[in-house]
Amino acid sequence: MTANDVYEAAGITELPIDPSKAAAAIGIKTVSYKSMRKIYDIEVEELYNTSTCGFAFKINNRFVIAVNENSCGERQRRFTIAHELGHCVLGHIGKLSEKKELTLSEERQADKFAADFLAPLPVLILCGAESAEEIKKICGISNQAAEIRYEELVRARKSNFLLFGENSRIADRFSEFIKRYRAGKGR
């Protein structure tokens, strides 16, 4: 499943994206660590040993994303949810009882999914994004994520990034948003 598949399933056509709503649209539940402790009778230490920001697991054939509501700001929580959503849709997650260690490659794939999902390059290119700060505002992501995405945007522009295939479909999905953004940018 690609980011565009999730956009389609969730009816996403605007930035910034709410990854919790997107996850819910494809049947993935998002819960706070506080709720997680109550629902699954898990000790705080066990949650924090799993991850300080969040993690995903499968229980009763359903994916669940647990997010630490106290560990980071809203923008980081959004990225964490998108990252964990990536683990789910990319097939990295096992059952809660399995406690499978994710590989560095799987972590990188989930980071890439989150970046592509929250800050799609075709949309940023067509919006004419000119800085990390602008990407941060458009996409609602952290300074660090916006800086990284801006570097990727610059590289994409230098390599004559082409809008065909999946990139074209993403651009089409967000076309009204892009038009409104560009019209407002010219003011």
pLDDT digits (tens, 9 = 90+) for 21-52: 999 999 999 998 888 777 777 766 666 666 67
**Any idea which of 110-124, 129-143, 154-168 has the lowest mean pLDDT?**
154-168
pTM to 2 decimals?
0.89
- In the DSSP assignment, the letter for residue 103 is P
Tokens of 23: 């996850």
Per-residue pLDDT of 8-21, as tens digits, reads 999 999 999 999 99
111 three-state secondary structure: helix
- Domains of the chain, residue spans: 3-113, 120-185
What CATH code would you report for 3-113? 1.10.10
* Extended beta strands in 44-141, E state: 54-59, 62-67
Distance between CA atoms of residues 121 and 154, nearest Å: 10
Sign of CA dihedral 155, 90, 17, 147: negative
Indicate the pairing of strand 54-59 with strand 62-67.
Answer: antiparallel
* CA angle, 76 then 14 then 25, to 5°: 75
- Name which of 14, 22, 124 is nearest 63 in CA terms: 22
